[in-house]
Structure 1
């Protein structure tokens, strides 16, 4: 019997070892089934596109100066460091703009080649590091507001790892800072939440917005800004459901139209003021969202220009 057991053990040993090696590999960095290092464009600002967009859109606004250097970061988003320098080739592919426009009802066109230069489309991420940069020199004084300009950028090849299916190609929207761009103080306003059409009583998130942390207005185009850092009363937490909150100013009347890419129900409250005062650089805004479920509203919000945005 002992000989039979030893014989069976000898027969099974290669399979047991193989099984152990496979199990080790599955959870280790060299696993055949493990997620490889993912090479992707890194978020340098929050994406301005919706979550369903095939290509993420990043908008960068520039001061109107003769030249400025800008780095588009590319990263290794993996579970281990690469074994050697990672060589990455990025290419300009403005067909990405056409696809983005079609899906998102947008109107981006390629930035004129005279308005920028790229030193090299080859990026090296040194061994032990995880981020490299595509360096672009822009000439903002040549920019204009005649169109929505952008660059389509795509990771073409990598020496190690896998190109991301979600962030391997991006749209880089390029705009000069408009008249409304900047950091604004929250002077006054009220935020309110309702449940079943009834104002929430004793809701700690309801109340005055005066003195909340500053908000940032970032240029989207000549007359539109994206408003970030909107918070509930007391400024302790950000307001959800209004991602990519935007204000478009009519340059003739200074009337403002409010909308949100992440909150499609958001709109101006009829009969209330939504306007920009160029003399004081102050916005007065009244808008609501989720009107037919549990309404939220911001009333008589006044934000005033404080300083230029970095």
Structure 2
């Protein structure tokens, strides 16, 4: 078993540099005396690039699995001191070359960091989204305004939960203003999360030498509509899969048992796993109670409480 190699990213410094360059890309430029900057920018969902590069900028949009779908906005901004001095038309296009270049960087990163592998992105299929109220990604910023919001509807109910999709976009032209040299391209990552996805307080007992018991924080990540994956006891990188049998009652004879669902655990790297019948998910307290052991003799007890 390998210990988790946690990433250390100096996000604040990178973000400060990006914001500074966004509004003043030329140190000799006075934003108050120049054209506004046209860019793809939304601070609320900006992520650090796992490869360590500043470009392309990545915006993360994780959504619930829902039959009615979910929506998010792509922001095309007129940045600077003043609002748009006139109506501005902005040509924005899907850019497959941008996505391919980024995935090539990720592949190189994964070769250099085998214990910290990043998932490659897949182009979001046309069947899984629509652009609300228009046929393309082009934007229109009215005079006196600072941005245009392009609404994207996502058919999250039919997403593959194990896939990270992406919409790669590039600003090609603008009828007024200066196209940003930094934020003219962006990758909009879209994925789904189930009800069990999130951060948990993990209390464990095991018979692993050096880790007989402990408490830590652990991330559970969606792998299916009713399944998640985590690292072994929050210490090792071995993948542990939890499947919630949401259509079944843990105990149909009691009210308490009916609000609970049985679960099963798998850990392929440790061989065959047996999940004790006392294991369940409590819908009311959002807590996993796990008791499981492997064919190789490892034994685990865990209480995972959602933060």
Q: TM-score range by the shorter chain?
A: 0.5 to 0.7
Residue matched to 1:54: 55
Q: Does 1:116 align with 2:129?
A: yes
C-alpha distance after superposition, 1:170-203 (max 9, x if no partner): 111111104542465x699xxxxxxxxxxxxxxx
Say what the alpha-carbon RMSD is for the aligned residues.
Answer: 4.0
Mean alpha-carbon deviation: is it higher for 161-170 or for 46-55? 46-55
- 2:174 pairs, out of 158, 171, 194, with 158
Select 1:171's aligned residue among 187, 210, 214. Answer: 187
Judge conservation of contact 1:61–1:218 (CA < 8 Å) in 2: no
Contact 1:175 1:220 in 2 (8 A): no
Contact 2:37–2:80 (CA under 8 A) maintained in structure 1: yes
Give the unaligned 5+ runs of structure 1.
1-24, 189-208, 226-246, 256-276, 284-301
1:127 and 2:117 correspond: no
Task: Tell me, in whole angstroms, the C-alpha distance in 2 between the residues paired with 1:145 and 1:175.
Answer: 7
Separation (CA, whole Å) in 1 of partners of 2:42 and 2:147: 8
Which of 1 and 2 has greater Rg? Answer: 1
Gaps of 5+ in 2: 1-27, 108-118, 204-214, 231-236, 243-264, 268-278, 290-302
Instruction: Say whether 1:145 aligns with 2:161.
Output: yes
1:228-283 CA-to-partner distances (Å, cap 9, x unmatched) read xxxxxxxxxxxxxxxxxxx995316577xxxxxxxxxxxxxxxxxxxxx9746369
- Note if 1:251 corresponds to 2:241: yes
Query: Structure 1 CA distance, aligned partners of 2:220 and 2:182?
Result: 25
Return closer, same or farther for 1:139/1:218 CA change in 2, 3 Å cut-off.
Answer: farther
Deviation at residue 29 of structure 1 after TM alignment: 3.5
- The alignment covers a number of residue pairs equal to 199
**1:27–1:164 distance in 2 versus 1, CA, 3 Å:** closer
Task: Report the counterpart of residue 70 of structure 2 in structure 1.
Answer: 68
What pairs up with 1:1-310 in 2 under 5 angstroms? Answer: 29-30=32-33, 36-50=36-50, 51-66=52-67, 67-105=69-107, 106-119=119-132, 120=134, 121-178=137-194, 180-182=196-198, 249-251=239-241, 279=281, 281=287, 304-306=305-307
Equivalent-residue separation in structure 2 for 1:39 and 1:76 (angstroms): 7
Q: In structure 2, what is the Cα distance between the partners aligned to 1:216 and 1:251?
A: 13
SS at match of 1:165: coil
CA contact (8 A) 1:183 1:305 kept: yes
Q: Is the 8 A contact 2:36 2:84 kept in 1?
A: no
For normalisation by structure 1, the TM-score amounts to 0.52
Q: Which has the higher contact order (CA 8 A, sep 6+)?
A: 2
